[in-house]
Structure 1
Amino acid sequence: MKKSKKGFNYFEAFVNLSKYSLSSAEILHKTLAEFKASELPNKVKEMHEIEHSADIAKHELMNHLVKEFLPPIEREDIITLAQGIDDVTDCVEDVLLFINMFNIKEIRSGILKFTELISTLCKSLHDALVEFQNFKNSKTLHGKIVEINHLEEEGDGLYMEMMRGLYSSSKDAIELMTWTEILHRLEKCCDKCEDVADTMEQIVMKNS
């Protein structure tokens, strides 16, 4: 592991940020699996507390970086990676916010497959970031990044399949609008996970 002279470990901080993403993804999946519209405000509050804690952790990292004389990797890469992980958490929260905002009363068939995939992606991202701490000597990091890319492709396929199913089964304008937005945000969660994986890969290449 790489540490700054002051002892702040940026790589551990990345792992910590990814724990918030994973927690938010697990809450999203559990909330929709046990869906009760009356419980949504409480679940939104719980989700926001995780997102807020993630923001605090990200700001702490940034505060250390401002004072850092010689960070272990380029400042721009630290900022991009930290922001990318935080974006994953934000996007997962967005899904639940929109479900609540649109006053959804029932979860469409297949949505749980999508939220389960996002949870798997966030777990894979966390595992990759654990391995990223030793990126110069790691024998498994590349495989973990490839796994994230494959899962994101699975998300793309699921998005197209579910969009087609939505427009094949409904003519209701409000239903089409609301679920189009929700599906778009589910797919965006997958994209954001892949963005973090791509950033890790670029950092490895730059430091090889």
Structure 2
Amino acid sequence: MKFSFRPTEGAFYELFTSAARNLVRGTELLQELGLPGAEVQSVSERLTEVEHDSDQITHQLYQKINSTFITPFDREDIYSLGSLLDDVMDHLEAAGNLVYLYGLTSLPALPRELHELVNVLDQQAKLTAEAMPRLRAMKDLEPYWIECNRLENEGDQAYRMLLVRLFSGEYDALTVLKMKEVADELEAACDAFEHVANTVETIAVKES
């Protein structure tokens, strides 16, 4: 029988789970931007509120690290995972804010490929939110990081096709610049989800 000297105290796991659930809120708000008649300013403001919530969760996590003598797993890994979850939220908020600030919803329609990229992010967010509670037992996590990495590849493909669309001549040069900046933030969020999954894999391997 394997004995562990690590505590089973659940505050860290709860904070990771809360942070991941915030990411689901973030991707769902991004999806709202593509709906007919969406209140773009309201969506942008709510995204900012969710991002502030995520910052607060990250702050609580860091405080918990600094005030806990023995942590459930390596302090560096706890810090890294919390920071990476926060990074995802930063990219989601930036993308939503730019869509609003650049007035991109005044276009007849946002590119289909952009919606596909947001849909990939939504799948990654839900997958991550489902996985975080399983950190406590360190079980059944492999399917999560495998699928999250597969989705990142799918997101890369959607991003490339979006670039092809943007540079096809369909849009004027200024709109292309604005939309590419949004696309870059979405692609960065997709990559950041993969970084979260890779960190979870590293933690699981260390703790096995």
When normalised by structure 1's length, the TM-score is 0.90
Count of paired positions: 201
Which residue matches 1:73? 73
Selected match of 2:123 from 120, 127, 130: 120
Which residue matches 1:95? 95
Which residue matches 2:193? 193
- Cα distance per residue 1:60-99 (max 9 Å; x no partner): 1111111110111111110000111111111111111111
Q: Equivalent residues in 2 for 1:144-163 (5 A)?
A: 144-163=144-163
Selected match of 1:21 from 20, 23, 32: 23
Q: Residue type of the partner of 1:159?
A: Y
**In structure 2, C-alpha distance between the alignment counterparts of 1:14 and 1:180, rounded to whole Å:** 31
Which residue matches 2:45? 45
Does the aligned pair in 2 maintain the 1:3–1:10 contact within 8 Å? no
Which residue matches 1:174? 174
Distance 1:83 1:27, change over 3 A: same
Selected match of 2:111 from 109, 112, 117: 109
Q: Which runs of 4+ in 1 moved over 6 A?
A: none
Shift of 1:30: 1.6
Distance 1:75 1:35, change over 3 A: farther
Which residue matches 2:12? 10
Shift of 1:35: 4.8
**In structure 2, C-alpha distance between the alignment counterparts of 1:201 and 1:70, rounded to whole Å:** 21
- The alignment-based identity, stated in percent, is 25
**In structure 1, C-alpha distance between the alignment counterparts of 2:10 and 2:149, rounded to whole Å:** 30
Does the aligned pair in 1 maintain the 2:32–2:43 contact within 8 Å? no
Shift of 1:3: 8.1
Q: Residue type of the partner of 1:24?
A: G
**In structure 2, C-alpha distance between the alignment counterparts of 1:168 and 1:30, rounded to whole Å:** 26
SS in 1 for 2:73: coil
**In structure 2, C-alpha distance between the alignment counterparts of 1:75 and 1:26, rounded to whole Å:** 31
Which residue matches 2:64? 64
Unpaired runs of at least 5, structure 1: none
Which residue matches 2:32? 30
Q: Residue type of the partner of 1:123?
A: K
Does the aligned pair in 1 maintain the 2:88–2:193 contact within 8 Å? yes
